[in-house]
Structure 1
């Protein structure tokens, strides 16, 4: 990912086998998810969006009766390095499924509308620091 802030999450047949990926347990897949990301604030923001989309794809597919063998979501974006304001996040979805393409397209569109983290980022959020402890 050319801008330096790219992340990739994968599960099922699309989980990364790279030795550089990190594995986490996952509610919908017995093998867990793989995460390829550097540990910076920029990467973590993009990881939150990609991870949410991956989770919601599994959750919503189950409700729609769509079987998913694998999911990969990559997310990337830039930042104005003067202010560190995000210049936006884009994500791409790859699915491994025997379901008809029209059903998968409908699933992706639905998840784009309901995924909580992308919705929160799109809406904007105030971040405040509470008292130090």
Structure 2
């Protein structure tokens, strides 16, 4: 999966699968992903090339190193983390100039991403926030 595999208007993974043998895969295809993981583009994060892996694949999916692959554990719901990473607060952090040393465009590396301050409300509160967000989106749609 490369950055172009994500629809950044709907934050979903494109339906088509590109299957390559290991010897034909790009050198940047090195990150294993699984169901429920969040793919977050570390290049030009303001474009929101991100999605939750919400389907299975014929073969083990591999993502480009242009993505951070985030796996949620028991204290985080992936939808909550995803929504937070789409927020203006997180956007401001991810697109700061000090995250983009040596490049002419905003970028954030995995180590800077791993030290981002992210709220951890109880799982029940995360679910309440997710449910309210979805309810509001449905009303607006």
Is TM > 0.5 for Structure 1 vs Structure 2? no
